[in-house]
Amino acid sequence: MQITEVRVKLVANKEARLRAFCSMTFDNEFVVRDIKIIRRNGGIFMAMPSRKMSDHCPKCGSKNHLTARYCNHCGAFFPENRAKKDAKGRMKLHADIAYPINTVCRQRIQQTVMEAFQKELHLSTQPGYKPKEMWDISDEDDIPDDTGQV
């Protein structure tokens, strides 16, 4: 499997923790979107696409994010610490959608994404810089409509 393209969209606020969104194409056939470049105290890292975890209200059964203090539907109060904890004892609030299953693959993806991010950062300092669009018009021809047809 080859990484055939990486697109980087820098975030306008240079002081924000979220520095960029990326999309990555494999073998010119499969795209993973919403890869994030995030700045922390220890530097910059890549985060694969994820979704917020949720559970159901014990009173009415409606779905709510684990950080919610009250049910969105019936208003019932939720106890704290409803989320499961990871091996380090931190609450698990997000679940990965797409991710590498081994270290070698993760390192290859991370290196490629970080190189593309650094290149885009450098390009953004040049006069006349125009940010890349994450989706070109030509990409829209390949997006299925509501019926699943392309």
pLDDT at position 82: 80
Q: Do residue 83 and residue 118 come from a single domain?
A: no
Type of residue at 150: V
Q: Are residues 76 and 123 in the same domain?
A: no
Instruction: Examine the domain organization and report whether 70 and 4 are in the same domain.
Output: no
pLDDT at residue 29, rounded to an integer: 94
Domain with 105, as residue range(s), is 1-49+97-150
CA 74, 79, 84, 89 torsion: positive or negative?
Answer: positive
Predicted local confidence at residue 34, as pLDDT: 92
Verify that 13 and 75 share a domain, yes or no: no
Number of domains forming the structure of the chain: 2
Residue 137 is predicted with a pLDDT of: 40
Residue 42 sits in the same domain as residue 2: yes
Residues of the chain under the 70 pLDDT cut: 134-150
The whole-number pLDDT of residue 118 equals: 95
Residues 31 and 88 in one domain: no
3-state SS of 49-101 is CEEECEEECCCCCCEEECCCCECCCCCCECCCCCCCECCCCCECCEEECCCCC
Write down the pLDDT at residue 131: 77
Q: What is the pLDDT of residue 49?
A: 94
CATH number at residue 3: 3.30.1120.40
SS3 48: coil
- The predicted pLDDT at position 138 comes to 47
Same domain, yes or no: 19 and 89: no
Q: So what's the pLDDT on residue 12?
A: 84
Whether 108 and 45 share a structural domain: yes
